[in-house]
Amino acid sequence: MQALSARMAQELLEEPITEADWIIENLFPVGAHILAGAPKIGKSWMVLAMELAVSMG
């Protein structure tokens, strides 16, 4: 695991932008996500359906 280090903004601007790796193409890239919404509108069921779809290919 790499240690964190400070970088100058110019270094970040000069770095090439790489294509994201997708969990679900053009919907969820690899990383952390927050799914927010009103209570009882089906957020958990939606995530369950997406997980099943990803696991089945």
Could you count the other beta carbons within 10 Å of the beta carbon of residue 3? 4
In the chain, how long is the greatest CA-to-CA distance? 45
Distances (CA, A) of 32 to 1, 8, 23, 49: 18, 25, 11, 18
Confidence category of residue 11, pLDDT binned at 50, 70, 90: very high
In a domain, 32, yes or no: yes
pLDDT tens figures, 13-54: 999 999 989 988 888 899 888 999 999 999 999 999 999 999
Q: Give the range of the structural domain holding residue 38, as residue numbers without chain letter.
A: 20-55
Residue 34 lies in a domain: yes
The verdict on residue 27 lying in a domain is yes
- Specify the number of domains making up the chain: 1
